[in-house]
Amino acid sequence: MTDALVVSNLLLWLVVLALLVAVFALARQVGILYERVAPMGALMIDSGPAVGAAAPRLDLADLDGTAVAVGAAGGRSQLLFFLSPTCPVCKKLLPILKSIATAEAAWLDIVFASDGEREEHAAFRRRAGIAAFPYLLSAELGMALHVGKLPYAVLVDEQGRVRAKGLVNSREQLESLFTAKEMDVASVQEFVGGRAGQGSVP
Give yes or no: residues 148 and 184 share one domain.
Answer: yes
pTM over 0.85? The answer is no
Give yes or no: residues 89 and 159 share one domain.
Answer: yes
Coil vs helix vs strand at 161: strand
Q: Which domain holds residue 12?
A: 1-37
Digit-coded pLDDT (tens) for 60-70: 999 999 999 99
Give pLDDT, residue 2.
Answer: 73
Number of domains in the chain: 2
Q: Is position 132 within any domain?
A: yes
Give yes or no: residues 18 and 71 share one domain.
Answer: no
C-beta separation of 39 from 172 below 8 A? yes
With 60 as the cut, is the pLDDT of residue 35 above it? no
Give yes or no: residues 152 and 102 share one domain.
Answer: yes
**Residue 160's CATH number:** 3.40.30.10
Q: Give the burial class of 156: count Cβ atoms within 10 A of its Cβ; 0-12 exposed, 13-18 middle, 19 or more buried.
A: buried
Q: Is position 121 within any domain?
A: yes
Cα gap 202→193, rounded to integer Å: 16
Give yes or no: residues 96 and 139 share one domain.
Answer: yes
Mean pLDDT of the chain: 86
Please name every residue paired with 60 in a beta bridge, in sequence order, or none if there are none: 68
With 60 as the cut, is the pLDDT of residue 176 above it? yes
2 or 196, higher pLDDT = 2
Confidence label for 195 from pLDDT (cuts 50, 70 and 90): very low
Give yes or no: residues 86 and 31 share one domain.
Answer: no
Enter the DSSP assignment of 50. P
